Structure 1
Amino acid sequence: MMEILEGFPGNVVAVRASGKLTREDYEKVLIPAVETALIGRDKIRVYYELDTDSVSMEPAAAWEDLKLGMSHYMQWEGIAVVTDHQWIRHAIDVLCFLIHGQVRTYPKSRVSEARDWIISELTRKTIRLT
């Protein structure tokens, strides 16, 4: 399941993910939010907050995620991922060179720092904060 988080500026798409992510989560929640945020903007930022429970992804959802990322490759200004899943944080650290914008990962204990960073001036390419 994916839900939009409120309280972020218009250039930030903020979502919380939990349980099993499906193609419908992308088609009905994330993709429309990204398209709306891009109206009148060259770049946007994304804030992902992953629940501490198990988060998994259907293959069709992974395909939608890849398509979304590639179709807007030059429009990602910054991405903050908040999770206590070490494997997700490590995967992002390894693959962040594939993302055009700045990327930071944060543990759940630093959620307010992640929120502050995604709405602030972005200054560094990739940092993993533990």
Structure 2
Amino acid sequence: MIEQIEGLPAGTLGFRARGQVTSQDYERVIVPDVEAAFALNRKLRLLYHVGDDFTGFDPGAMWDDAKLGFRHFTGWDRVALVTDLPWLRMTATAMGFAVPAEFRLFGNAELDAAKRWIAEPRPVDGD
């Protein structure tokens, strides 16, 4: 299941993965929210929390995630992934260079820090 994370600033989307995540979760929650947000914003920020109650992604969900990422490949400003799952942390670390956005990885205990980071203004060049 995918849930929205509320209380984030404008231009920032937040999602929490719980239990088993399916392609229907992407099609029902993430895709409409992302498409609507990109209709209003050229660049978006994303906070994605995969907590201890997460059990896995269905193959269709992983495919939907990849398609959505590629469709808006250059539209991400900042991406924060919050998880303690070793396989997901390793994958994110290995593939983080390919994300054309400022990317940071946080542990579950750092969720509040991730929310602060995703909301803070980018430094102006020369600062």
> What TM-score does the superposition give when structure 1 sets the normalisation length?
0.89
After superposition, the C-alpha distances for 1:102-123 in whole angstroms (9 at most, x for unaligned) are 1111011111110000011245
Q: Counterpart of 1:126?
A: none
Amino acid at match of 2:103: V
Q: Counterpart of 1:33?
A: 33
Which stretch shifts more, 93-102 or 67-76? Answer: 93-102
Gaps of 5+ in 2: none
In 2, the alpha carbon distance for the partners of 1:28 and 1:54 equals 18
Amino acid at match of 2:67: K
Amino acid at match of 1:18: R
Gaps of 5+ in 1: 124-130
Amino acid at match of 2:119: I
Q: Counterpart of 2:45?
A: 45
Q: Counterpart of 2:65?
A: 65
After superposition, the C-alpha distances for 1:65-88 in whole angstroms (9 at most, x for unaligned) are 000000000101111011111221
In 2, the alpha carbon distance for the partners of 1:101 and 1:55 equals 27
Note the aligned Cα RMSD (angstroms).
1.2
Are the counterparts in 1 of residues 17 and 54 from structure 2 also a CA contact under 8 Å? no
| Percent identity of equivalent pairs | 33
Q: Counterpart of 2:22?
A: 22
After superposition, the C-alpha distances for 1:8-42 in whole angstroms (9 at most, x for unaligned) are 11211101101111111110000111112112211
> What TM-score does the superposition give when structure 2 sets the normalisation length?
0.91
Q: Counterpart of 1:116?
A: 116
- Where in structure 1 do 4 or more consecutive aligned residues deviate above 2 Å? none
